[in-house]
C-alpha cells in the first residue's frame, strides 16, 4: 500500500495523544495546511465528484480482487430490488449459528428502507429488529442489544468503501448502530457504486472536508471493517467469527450490468 499521506496522519494522532510527551493541537487532519496540500485536496475532491461511471466500475473490480484474500464477498447488483432479492435468498439459504429461529437486525437507513426488504422477509417468516431511534431509552436499547445478539444477519449500509483494501467505513449514529455490524454472525452491507472510493488518501480528504463543513467536529464514532472477524491466537490456526461476524457480504448497486 502506498503511503498516501498516512504517515502524516498517524504522526498527528501521536501528537494529539501526547505519545512523545508534548501536547499539541488535536487537529488530526491539519486544517491549517500549506498551499500545496490545499491544492492537492481540491484536485482529489474534484476527481471523486467527476469520476465517470466506467471508472467507478474499474474501482469495483479492484475492490472485488482485494476482497478475495480476506474472505470478503463483494456482489455487484443492478438495482436495489435486486439487492433485496439477493439478501432474502441469502437469509433463506443460511442457517442461524444458534437455535432454529431466524431473525435479522437492520439499520434505520434510507437505502435499506428503499429496498422494502421488510415485507419480503415477513412473507418468509423471518423476524426483524430495527436499530434504535434518537429517543430510544435505556430499556429499549438493552432490548435491541439482546435481540441483535441472537439475530443471525445484520444489515447495514456504509458511508464509503475503499476499493484498494475492500474496507467498509461506517459512521455510527442513532438508527445506525455499530452492534448491527458486530453481533450477528453474518454482516450484510448495501452501498451504491458512487460510495466506492479509490484509497485511504481519498478517504482522509473526504473526512477533512467533513470537518471543515462541520465546525462542531466529529460527533459520532467511525468503524472500519475489512472482511469477517478473524484470529489465529490459538495454535496459529485461522478462525473466523471469534470476535464478530464470520461472514461479510457487500452488495454494490451499480445501476447497470456489471461487465466483470
Q: 174: how many CB neighbours lie within 10 A of its CB?
A: 13
Rounded distance between C-alpha atoms, residue 181 and residue 247, angstroms: 11
How are the residues of the chain apportioned to helix, strand and coil, as percentages rounded to the nearest 5?
40, 20, 40
Number of alpha helices (DSSP H) and beta strands (DSSP E) in the chain: 9, 12
pLDDT in tens, 36-57: 678 888 999 999 999 999 999 9
Which one, of 42, 5, 11, lies nearest residue 24 by Cα? 11
Domains (ranges, CATH) in the chain?
28-253 (3.40.50.10420)
CA 180 to each of CA 8, 18, 146, 186: distance values in angstroms, whole numbers, following the listed order: 33, 33, 11, 10
Give the model's pLDDT for residue 218.
59
- Residue 76 burial class via C-beta count within 10 angstroms: exposed 0-12, middle 13-18, buried 19 and up: buried
Q: CB-based contacts of 236: which residues, under 8 Å, 6+ apart?
A: none
The pTM score is: 0.80
Give the DSSP letter string of 7-59. Answer: HHHHHHHHHHTTTTS------TT-SS--HHHHHHHHHHHHHHHT--HHHHHHH
Whole-number mean pLDDT of the chain?
82
Phi, psi of 259 (to 5 degrees): -75, -15
Q: Of 153 and 134, which is predicted with more confidence?
A: 153
pLDDT in tens, 176-232: 888 898 889 999 999 999 999 999 999 999 988 877 776 555 566 789 999 886 655
Which one, of 229, 239, 145, lies nearest residue 187 by Cα? 229
pLDDT in tens, 68-113: 999 999 999 999 999 999 999 999 999 887 778 899 999 988 999 9
CA atoms within 13 A on the CB side of 138: 0
Which one, of 227, 67, 245, lies nearest residue 163 by Cα? 67
190, 251 Cβ separation under 8 angstroms: yes
Amino acid at each position: 500500500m502506498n503511503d498516501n499521506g498516512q504517515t502524516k496522519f498517524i504522526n498527528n494522532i501521536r501528537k494529539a495523544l501526547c505519545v512523545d510527551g508534548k501536547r499539541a493541537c488535536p487537529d488530526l487532519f491539519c486544517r491549517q495546511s500549506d498551499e500545496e496540500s490545499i491544492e492537492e485536496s481540491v484536485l482529489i475532491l474534484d476527481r471523486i465528484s467527476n469520476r465517470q461511471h466506467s471508472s467507478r466500475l474499474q474501482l469495483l473490480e479492484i475492490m472485488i480482487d482485494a476482497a478475495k484474500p480476506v474472505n470478503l464477498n463483494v456482489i455487484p447488483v443492478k438495482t436495489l430490488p435486486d439487492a433485496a432479492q439477493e439478501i432474502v435468498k441469502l437469509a433463506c439459504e443460511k442457517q442461524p449459528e444458534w437455535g432454529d429461529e431466524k431473525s435479522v437486525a437492520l439499520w434505520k437507513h434510507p437505502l435499506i428502507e428503499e429496498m422494502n426488504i421488510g415485507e419480503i422477509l415477513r412473507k418468509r417468516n423471518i423476524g426483524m429488529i430495527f436499530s434504535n431511534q434518537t429517543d430510544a431509552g435505556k430499556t429499549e436499547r438493552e432490548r435491541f442489544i439482546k435481540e441483535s445478539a441472537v439475530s443471525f444477519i445484520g444489515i447495514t449500509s456504509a458511508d464509503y468503501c475503499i476499493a484498494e483494501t475492500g474496507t467498509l467505513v461506517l459512521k455510527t449514529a442513532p438508527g445506525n448502530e455499530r452492534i448491527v455490524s458486530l453481533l450477528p454472525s453474518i454482516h450484510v452491507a448495501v452501498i451504491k457504486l458512487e460510495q466506492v472510493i479509490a484509497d485511504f488518501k481519498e478517504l482522509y480528504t473526504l473526512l477533512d472536508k467533513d470537518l471543515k463543513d462541520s465546525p462542531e467536529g466529529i460527533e459520532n464514532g467511525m468503524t472500519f471493517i475489512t472482511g469477517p472477524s478473524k484470529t489465529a491466537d490459538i495454535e496459529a490456526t485461522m478462525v473466523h467469527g471469534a470476535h464478530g461476524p464470520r461472514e461479510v457480504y457487500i452488495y454494490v448497486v451499480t445501476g447497470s450490468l456489471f461487465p466483470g
